[in-house]
Chain A
Amino acid sequence: MTTVPLRYRVPWKKIVVYVLAVLFALYLVLPFYWIVAMSFMPEADAVSVPPQWIPEHPTLANYLGFVDPSDAQALVGSRAIEETPYSLLNSLVVAASTALLNLVLATFAAYSFSRIRFRGSQLLLVLYLITRMVPGIAIIIPFYLLMREFHLLDTYLALILSYTTFALPITIWILKDFFRSVPRELEDAARVDRCGWFRTMWSVFLPVAAPGLVAAAVFSFMTAWNEFMFALFLTSTRAAKTIPVVAANFATDFNTQYTVMAAAGVLAVLPPLLLALVFQRKLVAGMAAGSVKG
């Protein structure tokens, strides 16, 4: 009566976990799979009913069309198609420059928070955080007017400057946490060797802090690459249009073929996606550190 008989127990918990895991995996992947599949289909297959879940006549035509539009595509005359390669290059230049500029500015600031006790440091950190909360729409009008004044509309510089201000506060927050984990003894040793501050930073401190720098650079690159609203206001031609703007042009153009739009979408998502997968651990740690610390 007092002993509980040993019996086989259905592992309900395991079953629930696996079922949920599979459902979530499908939820996360299927929509993306659909545009990837479409991007390899001829238009006729993409609009077929029922849908072809696996392309029956796989083709690269949608991607090749960006470099060398076919007669049909040229006839439809979507400007977005010919602008796609330029916009990818623009996005790359803008995002990389943003990441670099951010890193330089944020390294100085973050170092001060990790190594120096100074008056108002908490307030300054909060102020940085508050600027991150400011909605882009609140500054876009004056920013547009300002850039027009300086004849910077439709240039890389306008975009790089605006994205740097978006990404700078979060970059500082990420870096200050990473920098604190760098042992002070390293710098002390360098100082004993009579290295100046810049020498110490360059050859001792920064190499050790490299993982944090990479994470911060990836964050700001992705911020710049994905941004849309400022690019919509500030750019108008292939000279500076970024890929989100061109991708949106596909969506608002009634002549657009879904397959070509899908191909542009896939190209636009590839760089941030690859970065996210390669730097997964660091990004996850950075995202968590930016908002919770347990």
Chain B
Amino acid sequence: MSIDRRSLLKGLAAAGAGAAATAAAPVEASAKAQAPADALGMLYDATRCIGCKSCVVACKQANDMPPETATFPDGLWDAPIDLSGKTRNIIKLYKGDDEQSYMKAQCMHCIDPACARACMIGAYRKREHGIVTWDGSRCIGCRYCQVACPYEIPKFQWDTATPKMVKCEMCNHLIAVGKGPACCAVCPAKAVIFGKYDELLADARQRLADHPDRYIPKIYGEHDGGGTQVLYLAGVDFPKLGLPELSDEPAGEIAQKVQHTAYKGFIAPVVLYGVLGAVLWRNRRSAGKEDQP
């Protein structure tokens, strides 16, 4: 752990001060965030995906993740059934009555990430290029991020003594050396591509305009949940692919509003202690009556 007690306490104090400041000026918190100017992102086009799972294999190699053998007989395959503490990226299959589609599940790298809002200690941060990363030296293992994420992305390593939170970090260790995410580099169908967020968005709009018959007329992630830097195009409705219907507000927005309102002007503690005090006072009075027969 690269964090000592002093800096941790300092961080907590700063977080407290920040919370107080937010409470004083709640209008700022609800201003919709924009993707940073240097934002990088990914565009997954489900209609181009051929389901080869090269991205799953490449992701595991690039991030040194162990295989998941438990779900299949003989232990001969790496067969994850969902994202997990060992799997950051997975290809799923939606099979409807007369339609089907592949789906690449991974971190969406939200413009205003709910995990970072929920994390009380700042382990999740939006770093350069808007990539959302997790910092193991800060994490206390509360897993609020898991609850907060509307896409159910961060996963906890339940089977180790020193667990980590696992999610796609857009291969930022490869971006740092001038490469791109392993999944995008390996994709033979260019179903998932990596690039500047603005260019990907323009590309996606162009595809919708060029082939309206091929797609659901929507870029998932353009506005959903406040916008995500990983964008999706598909030929079937997005909820069928496990992408929830969200409002255009950041996913953590409502929870944060409720909390901040409750604590505004110290209302919640005052009310709580007021009620407790009233109960105490009432009990004492009734006890006093019993002592005077």
Q: Do A and B bind each other?
A: no
